[in-house]
Amino acid sequence: MSAEFVKTVRGEPSISPTFEDGRAALVLADAAQRSAVERASVDVDLG
């Protein structure tokens, strides 16, 4: 049995990335690409 699975069953916090972590990474990557193309800063909304 996976040690991470056992920790989760016990209610211990997970150190795995969440869906929101992945979403934030994509939002930031998109903003970086737009900023490079536009040669300007862009607003980022992680909310």
In a domain, 25, yes or no: yes
pLDDT at position 1, please? 57
Predicted TM-score (pTM) of this structure: 0.65
In a domain, 32, yes or no: yes
pLDDT at position 9, please? 86
pLDDT at position 33, please? 98
In a domain, 29, yes or no: yes
Mapping DSSP onto H, E and C, the string for 1-47 reads CCHHHHHHHCCCCCCCCCHHHHHHHHHHHHHHHHHHHHCCCCCCCCC
Q: Which domain holds residue 24?
A: 17-42
In a domain, 12, yes or no: no
Tell me: the pLDDT tens digits for 1-47?
588 788 888 988 877 788 998 999 999 999 999 999 999 999 999 88
Number of domains in the chain: 1
